[in-house]
Amino acid sequence: MATLQLTDYQNPIILLKPSLNTLFTRKNRTFHAPRASLQQPSLNRRQFVAETAAISLSLAPLIGFVEPAKSEVALSEWERVYLPIDPGVVLLDIAFVPDDSNHGFLLGTRQTILETKDGGNTWVPRSIPSAEDEDFNYRFNSISFKGKEGWIVGKPAILLYTSDAGESWGRIPLSTQLPGDMVYIKATGEKSAEMVTDEGAIYVTSNRGYNWRAAVQETVSATLNRTVSSGISGASYYTGTFNTVNRSPDGSYVAVSSRGNFYLTWEPGQPYWQPHNRAVARRIQNMGWRADGGLWILVRGGGLYLSKGTGITEEFEEVPVQSRGFGILDVGYRSKDEAWAAGGSGILLRTTNGGKTWTRDKAADNIAANLYSVNKVNEQA
């Protein structure tokens, strides 16, 4: 299973962050959201379809206390489930065990780890003794499973590993000299994983994390500052970090600079990240991979662009979307034809023709928060 990009998953999951700590589920699919009260009961959801995967959409935090709508109209696409977390917790990633679609984990800030063993109907806090340190309040950024093996990374630098589908987790020591914060991990095979930091370092292991090999020769800052005449707008004397980073099924990456003024790509075997000028005037909000191997770009202000053809390119064309003036923050593809886009003020869009046209789904219209992330889980079988 994996948390990013595949073509055969069927169960989107939406994660809505504070202040609505609730879980929403699409019929025969799941999706989450923080709720405003810790005591609200869980809502029943339809049985989680076995051997499927999911997309997760998260809602960014809002200032103040938001009450759930008093009357919620039942919608054909999504249902709602509540989560036992504090209003200030930010949900960041989700994954299910490939061999058991009922067993999953949900990560967030403030050392939040939730676990479900009933397909997402109910979630309970999970305590991992090896991750409890009175001097740190960990932010768990990413989780990934392959078979029964699972990995979690967080900030400050922490790496957790399980070989028994999450029944027990052990902590693997990491060097204090790692460049940047670990923001993403991908389980790639037996005892193997790939880890990425927000400064562009990529490390791979094949022995349960006891040793790591650098896949790139230098950080993004070093690459850009060494090639200041590269012609990339905003790249000279770059000292920032990634705003977003997304991995394709074949192991390629696309990342957006912290200010959104250019983007970078990396393919397996390349010694350095490759910078690219953005194809549009507005700054980039996010980028990712389509199910057919092409790229999508979201720009600030709500614009959506799709690359011409597949693979890495700098040629994009705009696609009209009904964003109602709110920004679109993320996109996730279920197949080459179907995808979901999410954004500000509960914007939720769906395409069934590969992204050529989009229609609005009103599932989150009553949610006073921003849908900020779309993540696919349970990719590996």
Q: Is 339 in contact with 332 (CB distance < 8 Å)?
A: yes
Interatomic CA distance for residues 123 and 372, integer angstroms:
21
Distance spanning both ends of the chain, measured CA to CA = 6
pLDDT of residue 235: 59
What are the structural domains of the chain?
A: 4-8+77-217 (2.130.10.10), 237-380 (2.130.10.10)
- Cα torsion 89, 288, 298, 220 to 10°: value is 80
Distance CA 289, CA 300 (A): 18
Residue 226 DSSP SS3: helix
pLDDT at residue 234, as a whole number? 57
CB 108 within 8 Å of CB 149: no
pLDDT band with cut points at 50, 70 and 90 for residue 344:
confident
Residue 239 DSSP one-character state = -
CA distance 349 to 351: 7
Q: Does the pLDDT at position 39 exceed 70?
A: no
38 has a pLDDT exceeding 70: no
Average pLDDT over residues 75-79: 53
Instruction: Tell me what the mean pLDDT of segment 74-82 comes to.
Output: 58
* pLDDT for 231: 61
92 against 233, higher pLDDT: 92
Lowest mean pLDDT among 120-134, 152-166, 294-308, 367-381: 367-381
Specify which residues 14 forms β-bridges with.
Answer: 24, 57
Average pLDDT over residues 267-285: 91
**pLDDT score at 147:** 96
Please count the CA atoms within 13 angstroms of the CA of 65 that sit on its side-chain side: 5
Task: Label residue 192 left, alpha or beta by phi (over 0 means left) and psi (-120 to 50 means alpha).
Answer: beta
Percent of the chain predicted with pLDDT > 90 = 49
pLDDT given at position 326: 80
Name the DSSP letter for residue 182.
E
Residue 115, pLDDT > 90, answer yes
The residue type found at 93 is D
CA distance 286 to 52: 26
pLDDT for position 157: 93
Whether 30 and 120 have beta carbons less than 8 Å apart is answered as yes
Tens of pLDDT along 297-315? 999 888 999 999 898 988 9
Q: Is the pLDDT of residue 49 over 50?
A: no
Q: How does pLDDT run across 355-366, given as a tens digit for each residue? A: 999 998 887 777
**What is the average pLDDT across 136-150?**
94
Number of C-alpha atoms within 13 angstroms, CB side, residue 6? 19
Q: What is the DSSP-derived secondary structure letter of residue 354?
A: T
